[in-house]
Amino acid sequence: MASKSSASSNNRLILWLAIALLVVVLDQFTKVLVLHEFQYGDSRYVFPFFNLVRVHNTGAAFSFLAGASGWQRWFFVALGVVATGFILWLLRRHGHQTQFATALSLILGGAVGNVVDRLLHGYVVDFIQLHWAGWYYPSFNIADSAITVGAILLIVDELRRVKRG
């Protein structure tokens, strides 16, 4: 029979994995909508600072390595798989730390969402475009947003930990 602590740890891990899965599902659902409704390069005005677009990113953040000859697809898939394994290991060890585990779950969901794109399409589908007064931020997606929010939560969690120590 599993101990009470072990059962609680497993329940927490299931929660963190459910959050990651929710991110993957939302990310993939929105990308399917964009792929169905938009042609490559299409843009639709939503607000004075926000457009929906369809962009394909063969690189990483800010199109890093997008101009490479194709090897980057498998490099980023491998990187995502390694990151997934490391995050799962961290969640098993630190699932009791709510903010830390929430951050990792968001990052995990975002990483998996973008790996799915690379495997299915060879590129990541980006569709959120923020802009103001002629300035345009690079397009991104739900997975990227989850990774960013997760990274911010990790920083805040670490700053709190340092402040307490």
Q: Which residue's structure tokens are 């989850």?
A: 146
The one-letter amino acid at 29? F
The active-site residue, picked from 27, 117, 144, 157, is 144
pTM of the model: 0.88
The active-site residue, picked from 27, 117, 126, 157, is 126
Q: What are the distances in angstroms from CA 25 to CA 67, 97, 142?
A: 29, 24, 10
pLDDT in tens, the chain (165 residues): 556 667 777 889 999 999 999 999 999 999 999 999 999 999 999 999 999 999 999 876 656 565 655 677 788 889 999 999 999 999 999 999 999 999 999 999 999 999 999 999 999 999 999 999 999 999 999 999 999 999 999 999 999 989 887
Cα diameter, the chain? 63
In this structure, the number of other CB atoms found within 10 A of the CB of residue 161 comes to 12
Q: Which residue's structure tokens are 């697809």?
A: 73
**Catalytic residue status for 42:** no
